[in-house]
C-alpha cells in the first residue's frame, strides 16, 4: 500500500506548489493547489444522521419497554405485558432485563458509538481534495484508497446542492460534472461561502480566461468569530434564507423567467398522469361499492405514492430561476433542498420544446435538454438536471432559448417560435412529410418536418404532443437514415440524429428520400463548419494564431462528400 502524505490544512497558497492555479485567477483559499479537508461537520451529515435514524427506530420499537423501565408510573398496566415478553425468552432485551445487565448493555452501546464516531472521523481525515490549474482531484478511503480527477477542460457544469439540514448548518455540496458516466467529482460538504467561491474558481479556470482578464486575488474568508456564535448566526441566516432565497448575489440577479405558483400547480393537474389517477380513484370507488374490497388495498398505496411524488415534483420546481452569468446559464430550483447548476457554454447537446395537448388552451410549454450529467443511468436524480423550463409561455421559451442557444440569430429564433412551435402556417420553411406518405403519420404529416440552418438542425413533429427539437451542429455526434420496406415503397426514409443520452429523442419519420439525402450531405458539411468554428470548450479564452476557420471550411466544402463526412471531428454519418 502506498503511503500518502498528510494533507495540508492551512488556508494559505504557496506560489511554489507545482500545478497551483495562478493567484490572479482564484478567490478561495481552498483553490491553491494544496490538499484540503472538507467541512468538519461533514461526518455529522454523512454518518451522524444515519445514527439518529437507527436510534429513532430502536426507541420506537422499544417504547413500551423503556416506559416500563424508566417511567413505570405512566403505564401501570404494562407490567403484565412485560412479564409475558420476559417469559417468552430468546429476546436479547429480555435477557438483559432478567439478568440486570443494564450497565453492561449501556457500556456496549457506548463502545459501539465510539467506534462508529472514530470511523467517521478517520474517514473525514483521509477525505481530501485539491484544485490545480488542470483538474479537480479527490482522495478518499481508509483501507482502500480512491483517487478521482475531473479535468477542467472537460467540465460540463458545476452544481451546488444545499439539503435542508445542511442549509441550516451553512453547508453545501459541490459537484463537478464530468464528461462520462459516473464521472462526477463531489465535494460534500463545504461551507456555503467556500462552496460558492470554489465553484467560481473552477468555472474561471475551466473557461481559459487569461491572467490579464482576472481581477485582484484574494477574497478570503472573513475573520473568524467564536464557533458557537458563528453556528447560531448561520442557522438564523439560513432559516431566513428558506423564505427569502438562499443564493448570494451573482452577476445577474433577475431571472429571465418567473413561474407563478398557481401555474406550476395547474400544470401538474393538467397532465395525463392526473387523468390516470382520477380513473383509478373512480375504479376504486365503483369496485368498493360493488364489494370488491381488494381494490382498496391494492390501489390506495399506489395513489398515496403518486400523491407524494406529485407534491415532491411541485416543491422541487418552486423558486425556479434561470439567468445568464459570465460562465454560462445559471438554473436554480427547489424549496427545501436548493440546487443551483451552472451550465457552461456549449454543454447543451439537444433542446426540446414540448406542449402536451392539455396545456394548449393555456399556451404553456416545457423545455428539456440533453447534456452530460456525469451520473449513471440508474441515478433517479438525473431528470432534475435535464429540465430547463418546467412550464412557461411562448415568450418564456424564447427567453430560455436565447440563453441555451445564444448563437441563433434573432430572425432564426423568431422562426423557431412561429414555425417550429406553432407551425405550419401560411408560409412554412420546413420540409414536411410528402402527401403520398400521409398514412405513416395520418394526424401529423403536415407538421412532421425539418429545417437545416447554418448552426442547427430543427425537427418538428407531433399533433397531440407538439415537439420541436433543436440540435446544435457543433454538438452532433452522427446522423443516420433508416428505411424499411414500407418506407421504400413510399419513397420516404427515417432520420435519426445521434447525441448524448437524455430525454430528447431526435427522430423524424416519413421524410422524403431525396430531401433526406440532401439533409444528410448538408449536415455533414455543416458539422465540419461548426466543429472548426466552435470555441466553447474554452469560452473565455482569447483567439490564438490557429488556422482560419473559413479556410478550413472552404477546403472541406471543396472536397468530395465522403471526404468531408469522414473529416468531421467527432461526427460520423450512416446510411442504412
Q: What is the pLDDT of residues 257-302, one digit of tens each?
A: 889 989 988 998 888 888 888 887 888 888 878 777 777 777 777 7
Whether residue 368 contacts residue 393, with contact meaning beta carbons closer than 8 Å, is answered with no
pLDDT score at 43: 83
The mean predicted confidence, pLDDT, of the chain is 77
Q: Which residue blocks in 176-293 are alpha helix, DSSP H? A: 192-206, 227-244, 261-269, 272-289
Helix (H) / strand (E) containing 185: strand 185-191
Q: Dig out the grid coordinates for 323 from the structure.
A: 439567468
Q: Residue 482 — very low, low, confident or very high, per pLDDT cuts 50/70/90?
A: very high
Written as nine digits, the cell of 550 is: 473559413
147 strand-pairing partners? 139
Each domain of the chain, given as residue ranges in start order, spans 23-35+129-244, 46-124, 261-317, 408-575
For position 448, what pLDDT does the model report? 94
* Average pLDDT estimate for 88-106: 68
Helices (H), 502-548: 513-533
pLDDT of residue 367 exceeding 90, the answer is yes
- Give Cα 504 distance to the centre of its chain: 15
Identify whether the C-beta of residue 318 lies closer than 8 Å to the C-beta of residue 339: no
In whole angstroms, give the CA distance from residue 414 to residue 108: 71
For residue 3, what pLDDT is reported? 38
Q: How far is CA 259 from CA 118, 186, 323, 575, in A?
A: 47, 30, 14, 44
Q: Which of 144-148, 155-159, 365-369, 379-383 tops mean pLDDT?
A: 365-369
pLDDT digits (tens, 9 = 90+) for 175-225: 988 877 677 888 988 988 889 899 988 888 888 765 444 444 444 444 444
Q: For 436-459, how does the pLDDT look when each residue is reduced to its tens digit (9 = 90+)?
A: 999 998 988 899 999 998 889 999
Segment of 110-124, 155-169, 364-378, 491-505 carrying the highest mean pLDDT:
491-505
Half-sphere exposure of 316 (CA within 13 A, CB side): 15
pLDDT in the model for residue 481: 94
Cell of 170: 451553512
CATH of the structural domain 23-35+129-244, one choice from 3.40.50, 2.30.29, 2.60.40, 2.40.50? 2.30.29
On the question of pLDDT at 523 being above 50, the answer is yes
The span from the CA of 342 to the CA of 324, in Å, is 9
Q: What is the DSSP letter of 478?
A: E
Question: Is residue 384 scored above 70 in pLDDT?
Answer: no
C-alpha dihedral (277, 281, 287, 292), degrees to nearest 10: 80
Asked if 175 and 156 count as a contact pair (C-beta separation under 8 A), the reply is no
* Confidence check: pLDDT of 238 > 80: no
For the cut 60, the answer to whether the pLDDT of residue 232 exceeds it is no
Q: In the 8-state DSSP scheme, what is residue 41?
A: T
Range with lowest mean pLDDT among 14-23, 103-112, 331-340: 14-23
Q: For the chain, what percentages of helix, strand and coil (3-state, to nearest 5) are there?
A: 45, 20, 35
Query: Cell 393537474 sits at which residue?
Result: 269
Q: Which phi and psi (to 5°) does residue 340 adopt?
A: -120, 120
Cα separation of 31 and 136, whole Å? 10
Match 423564505 to its residue by C-alpha cell.
Answer: 243
The dihedral of CA 57, 62, 66, 72: what is its sign? positive
- Residue 150's DSSP bridge partners are 136
Pairing of strands 146-151, 328-333: unpaired
Residues 6+ positions from 51 with CB-CB distance below 8 Å: 113, 116
What count of other Cβ atoms lies within 10 Å of the Cβ of residue 508? 23
Q: Is residue 59 exposed (0-12), middle (13-18) or buried (19+ Cβ within 10 Å)?
A: exposed
- Alpha carbon distance 134, 494 (integer Å): 43
Q: Which strand (E) or helix (H) includes residue 332? A: strand 328-333
Give the mean pLDDT of 321-332: 87
Cα dihedral sign, 433-434-435-437: negative
Amino acid at each position: 500500500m502506498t503511503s500518502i502524505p498528510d494533507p495540508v490544512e492551512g488556508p494559505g497558497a504557496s506560489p511554489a506548489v507545482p500545478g497551483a492555479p495562478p493567484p490572479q485567477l482564484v478567490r478561495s483559499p481552498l483553490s491553491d493547489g494544496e490538499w484540503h479537508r472538507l467541512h468538519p461537520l461533514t461526518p455529522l451529515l454523512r454518518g451522524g444522521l444515519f445514527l439518529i435514524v437507527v436510534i429513532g427506530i430502536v426507541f420506537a420499537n422499544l417504547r413500551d419497554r423503556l416506559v416500563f423501565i424508566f417511567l413505570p408510573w405512566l403505564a401501570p398496566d404494562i407490567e403484565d405485558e412485560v412479564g409475558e415478553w420476559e417469559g417468552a425468552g430468546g429476546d436479547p432485551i429480555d435477557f438483559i432485563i432478567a439478568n440486570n445487565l443494564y450497565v453492561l448493555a449501556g457500556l456496549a452501546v457506548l463502545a459501539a458509538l465510539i467506534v462508529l464516531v472514530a470511523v467517521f472521523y478517520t474517514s473525514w481525515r483521509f477525505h481530501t481534495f485539491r484544485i490545480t490549474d488542470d483538474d479537480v482531484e479527490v482522495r478518499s478511503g481508509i483501507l482502500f484508497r480512491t483517487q478521482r480527477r475531473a479535468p477542467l477542460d472537460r467540465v460540463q457544469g458545476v452544481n451546488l446542492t444545499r439539503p435542508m439540514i445542511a442549509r441550516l448548518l451553512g453547508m453545501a455540496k459541490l459537484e463537478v460534472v464530468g464528461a462520462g458516466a459516473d464521472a462526477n467529482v463531489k465535494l460534500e460538504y463545504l461551507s456555503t461561502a467556500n462552496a460558492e467561491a470554489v465553484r467560481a474558481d473552477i468555472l474561471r479556470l475551466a473557461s481559459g480566461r487569461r491572467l490579464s482578464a482576472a481581477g485582484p486575488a484574494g477574497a478570503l474568508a472573513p475573520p473568524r468569530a467564536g464557533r458557537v456564535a458563528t453556528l447560531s448566526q448561520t442557522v438564523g441566516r439560513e432559516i431566513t434564507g428558506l423564505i427569502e432565497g438562499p443564493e448570494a448575489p451573482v452577476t445577474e440577479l433577475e431571472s429571465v423567467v418567473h413561474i407563478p405558483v398557481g401555474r406550476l400547480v395547474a400544470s401538474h393537474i393538467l397532465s395525463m398522469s392526473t387523468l390516470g389517477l382520477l380513473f383509478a380513484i373512480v375504479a376504486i370507488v365503483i369496485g368498493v361499492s360493488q364489494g370488491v374490497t381488494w381494490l382498496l388495498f391494492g390501489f390506495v398505496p399506489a395513489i398515496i405514492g403518486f400523491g407524494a411524488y406529485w407534491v415532491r415534483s411541485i416543491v422541487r420546481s418552486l423558486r425556479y430561476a434561470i439567468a445568464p452569468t459570465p460562465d454560462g446559464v445559471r438554473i436554480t430550483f427547489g424549496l427545501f433542498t436548493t440546487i443551483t447548476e451552472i451550465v457552461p457554454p456549449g454543454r447543451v447537446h439537444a433542446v426540446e420544446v414540448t406542449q402536451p395537448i392539455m396545456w394548449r388552451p393555456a399556451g404553456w410549454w416545457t423545455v428539456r435538454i440533453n447534456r452530460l450529467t456525469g451520473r449513471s443511468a440508474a441515478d433517479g436524480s438525473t431528470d432534475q438536471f435535464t429540465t430547463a423550463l418546467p412550464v412557461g409561455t411562448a415568450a418564456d421559451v424564447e427567453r430560455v432559448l436565447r440563453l441555451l442557444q445564444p448563437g441563433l440569430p434573432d430572425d432564426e429564433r423568431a422562426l423557431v417560435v412561429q414555425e417550429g412551435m406553432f407551425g405550419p402556417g401560411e408560409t412554412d420553411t420546413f420540409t414536411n412529410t410528402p402527401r403520398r406518405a400521409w398514412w405513416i403519420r395520418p394526424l401529423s404529416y403536415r407538421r412532421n418536418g425539418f429545417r437545416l440552418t447554418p448552426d442547427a438542425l430543427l425537427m418538428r413533429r407531433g399533433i397531440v404532443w407538439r415537439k420541436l427539437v433543436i440540435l446544435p451542429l457543433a454538438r452532433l455526434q452522427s446522423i443516420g437514415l433508416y428505411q424499411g420496406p414500407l418506407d421504400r415503397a413510399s419513397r420516404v426514409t427515417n432520420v435519426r440524429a445521434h447525441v448524448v443520452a437524455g430525454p430528447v429523442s431526435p427522430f423524424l419519420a416519413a421524410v422524403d428520400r431525396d430531401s433526406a439525402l440532401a439533409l444528410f450531405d448538408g449536415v455533414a458539411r455543416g458539422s465540419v463548419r461548426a466543429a472548426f468554428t466552435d470555441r466553447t470548450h474554452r469560452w473565455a479564452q482569447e483567439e490564438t494564431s490557429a488556422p482560419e476557420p473559413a479556410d478550413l471550411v472552404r477546403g472541406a466544402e471543396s472536397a468530395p462528400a465522403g471526404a468531408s463526412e469522414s473529416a468531421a471531428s467527432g461526427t460520423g454519418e450512416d446510411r442504412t
